[in-house]
Every structure is written in structure tokens, then in C-alpha cells.
């Protein structure tokens, strides 16, 4: 998917804090805008949509300029080709699902964009069309809200904490639909969240904000490896994202096997993902132990041979971060410095990585 970049030169002064962003986002699939509450994530999205007015700045999608204070350009929200999905679904209670979708489609008749039937099919909305919105579950309401947003003929989706208030099961359900949107419709999205698990599931790129300032910007895999991300995610959330491919399912033992490019991981059964599908996995540093000899008589099933690539100081004096290169992937272990010394770990050491838990994030 080839999309024009989004230029963001934004300065906003609010009573509680000031927002300063000077970045160009490549907009490949999902760009997560991540950070703690009050960091400026939603304010940035509102500025892009035209709901917040920067005191200085420029916002442009490729050559299409939406804001340029120096040139006197400030396009109003209804003339910016964005689809904004708010934390609350904002559906019309007096209309059924079909009426909510038709309203958005009628408003953009002649503009082009995504067709009604394509949206209904992509989000599996056909069984809901005749239902009143009051009768929908939280997850169903979000799917309808997403469909209405798509029918506004946007060139860019702005998703502001779209899963707020949903339980874990419904979050996973809606995320599965969300993930298909960029590739299916060639439509990039900015996804605001303070939930690192959501980000790990959807993000291709990450923009990390804290106190109104950009802390990091890069691919999701690269940013989530950064040691200095830990103060924003929590001490035990450090880890890596790895890409693999499902080789087969063992339905008797309820297991799925994933090839990481020469090493095979065993996961609890992911039966909705077919053999051959590409998947994204998250391995937390706290879930990796290290041995210098292949262990026996152990309940941990994932024991992978590798070589220590580097040993880094952790964010606390008692801990170290050990990077291990496997055959086709690199993983990270968080160990005590005492363990590093006792095992005599150093770059080049042959080791076995014991992966206690793997989190399935998404599938292509």
C-alpha cells in the first residue's frame, strides 16, 4: 500500500500542557500514537481533524495542505478528508444500523471512496442492518461506528481509543476487523492508545508521546525493543515483536506450531489461523530464561538454541537485558545481574533461550 506521507508541524498551548510535534509520518498501514494518559495523543488527532487549532504549524497529506498558519490556510473539519472514530460510538439512536450507515453514505455521495456493500461485507454487518443501535453489544456498536466512518470517504482514518470500555474478548473481536482495513481498502490509520497490547497487535509504526513531546518514532518492532520505552509501558512490559508462519496445528494437544525462520515455537492452539498464515507474536523479556546447557526434565516446551548478541544495563541496578540471536529472530531476556555473572554471559556465548510464554498478536 503506497500512501502519501503526513506532515505534522504542530504547536498547541493548553492550560494543562503544551503540545509540540514536528514529524513526517510515512502512513504505512497503522501508525500507533502511544503514550500515557495526558501525553497529548487525542489532542494531536483533534488537530489533524481540525477540531483543535494550533497556534503555529502546518499539516499536509502529501501536497494537500490542510493547515499552514504562515500561509493563512486553515481548512475546516468538514473539508478535511479524514474519518474520525471517537472513544464513544456517537451512533444515532433513532435509526437502525442500516440507517446509520446510509446517513454517512448519502453525505458523501459523489465523493467516491468505499461502497456501502463493501463496508457491510468487510465488517460482517449484514446480520445487524435491521437492528436498533440500543440492541447492539459494545463490540457490535464499534463495528457499526467504524463502518460509518469508512463511508465518509476518508483518505485517512483517525481512531481515538476505539476500544475503550470493551472487555478483552470484545476487544479481540473488534481488533480482528480493524486490522483488515488498511490492506483491504488501501486506507492508512492513526491509532491512539495507551494500551501496549493493542499497539503490539495493530501497529506498523509507532509515535510515542509523553508530556506533549515526541519521545520516539519508528517501526513498531524497533520502538518496542527500546529500553527507554519501559517507563511508559511498565517495568515488565519490555519485549520484542517477531514475525513467523504457522506450520501446523496439533488439535489433539490443542497446540499451534510457528516457524520463526528456522526455530519453531509451540503456542496454545490458534485454530482460527490456517497453516501457512503469517503471524505476529510478542515475547516479553520477563518470559525468557537463559540456560548454558540444554535443560532436561523441564515443563517449558520452547527451548531454542542461540548466541548472546549483547548484554546491556537494565533500567534498575539489579537487572540486565540480554539479547539472544536465534536462527531467524532476535529475542530479549530480562535477568538479574547476579544471573548474568553466574552464567558468565557475554557476547558470543552459546545459550538456550527458554521461552515460557508467547502472546499471539495478529495474523495476516
pLDDT at 67: 96
Mean pLDDT value across residues 290-294: 96
pLDDT at 146: 94
DSSP characters for 221-273?
Answer: HHHHT-GGGHHHH-GGG-EEEEEEEEEEEETTTTEEEEESSS-EEEEE--TTS
> Does the pLDDT of residue 1 top 60, yes or no?
no
Nearest to 220 by CA among 193, 240, 191: 240
Please tell me the pTM assigned to this model. Answer: 0.82
All residues at 6 or more sequence positions from 222 whose CB lies less than 8 Å from its CB, including other chains: none
> Does the pLDDT of residue 164 top 60, yes or no?
yes
> Does the pLDDT of residue 282 top 70, yes or no?
yes
> Does the pLDDT of residue 235 top 70, yes or no?
no
Q: 359: pLDDT confidence band, cut at 50, 70 and 90?
A: confident
- Residue-wise pLDDT for 180-204, tens only, equals 898 889 899 999 998 888 888 889 9
> Does the pLDDT of residue 111 top 60, yes or no?
no
> Does the pLDDT of residue 233 top 80, yes or no?
no
> Does the pLDDT of residue 228 top 80, yes or no?
no
Burial of 185 (0-12, 13-18, 19+ CB in 10 A): middle
In terms of phi and psi (left: phi > 0; alpha: psi -120 to 50; beta: otherwise), the region of 23 is beta
Separation between Cα atoms, residue 157 and residue 85, nearest integer Å: 8
> Does the pLDDT of residue 325 top 80, yes or no?
yes
- Residue-wise pLDDT for 16-54, tens only, equals 889 999 999 999 899 999 988 889 999 999 999 999 999
> Does the pLDDT of residue 172 top 70, yes or no?
yes
Q: 227: pLDDT confidence band, cut at 50, 70 and 90?
A: low
Q: What percent of the chain has pLDDT over 70?
A: 95
> Does the pLDDT of residue 2 top 80, yes or no?
no
Amino acid at each position: 500500500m503506497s500512501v502519501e506521507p503526513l506532515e505534522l508541524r504542530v504547536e498547541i498551548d493548553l492550560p494543562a500542557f503544551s503540545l509540540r510535534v514536528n514529524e513526517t509520518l510515512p502512513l504505512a498501514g497503522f501508525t500507533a500514537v502511544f503514550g500515557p494518559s495526558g501525553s497529548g495523543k487525542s489532542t494531536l488527532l483533534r488537530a489533524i481533524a481540525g477540531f483543535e487549532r494550533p497556534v503555529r504549524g502546518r499539516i499536509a497529506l502529501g501536497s494537500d495542505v490542510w493547515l499552514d498558519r504562515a500561509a493563512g490556510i486553515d481548512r475546516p473539519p468538514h473539508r478535511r478528508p479524514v474519518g474520525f472514530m471517537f472513544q464513544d460510538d456517537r451512533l444515532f439512536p433513532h435509526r437502525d444500523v442500516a440507517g446509520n450507515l446510509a446517513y454517512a453514505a448519502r453525505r458523501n455521495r459523489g465523493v467516491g471512496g468505499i461502497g456501502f456493500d463493501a463496508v457491510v461485507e468487510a465488517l460482517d454487518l449484514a446480520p445487524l442492518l435491521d437492528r436498533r443501535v440500543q440492541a447492539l453489544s459494545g463490540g457490535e456498536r464499534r463495528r457499526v461506528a467504524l463502518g460509518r466512518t469508512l463511508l465518509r470517504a476518508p483518505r485517512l482514518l483517525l481512531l481515538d481509543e476505539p476500544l475503550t470500555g470493551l472487555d478483552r474478548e470484545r476487544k479481540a473481536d473488534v481488533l480482528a476487523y480493524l486490522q483488515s482495513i488498511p490492506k483491504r481498502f488501501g486506507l492508512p490509520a492513526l491509532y491512539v492508545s495507551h494500551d501496549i497490547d493493542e499497539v503490539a497487535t495493530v501497529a506498523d509504526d509507532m509515535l510515542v508521546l509523553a508530556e506533549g513531546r515526541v519521545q520516539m518514532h519508528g517501526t513498531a518492532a524497533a520502538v518496542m525493543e527500546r529500553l527507554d520505552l519501559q517507563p511508559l509501558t511498565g517495568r515488565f512490559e519490555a519485549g520484542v515483536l517477531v514475525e513467523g508462519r504457522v506450520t501446523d496445528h496439533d488439535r489433539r494437544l490443542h497446540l499451534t506450531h510457528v516457524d520463526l525462520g528456522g526455530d519453531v515455537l509451540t503456542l496454545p492452539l490458534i485454530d482460527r489461523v490456517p497453516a501457512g498464515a503469517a503471524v505476529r507474536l510478542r515475547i516479553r523479556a520477563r518470559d525468557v530464561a537463559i540456560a548454558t546447557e540444554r535443560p532436561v526434565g523441564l515443563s517449558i516446551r520452547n527451548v531454542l538454541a542461540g548466541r548472546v548478541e549483547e548484554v546491556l544495563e537494565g533500567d534498575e541496578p539489579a537487572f540486565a537485558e540480554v539479547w539472544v540471536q536465534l536462527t531467524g529472530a532476535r529475542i530479549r531476556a530480562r535477568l538479574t545481574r547476579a544471573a548474568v555473572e553466574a552464567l558468565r554471559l557475554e557476547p558470543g556465548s552459546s545459550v538456550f533461550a527458554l521461552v515460557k510464554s508467547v502472546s499471539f498478536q495478529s495474523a495476516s
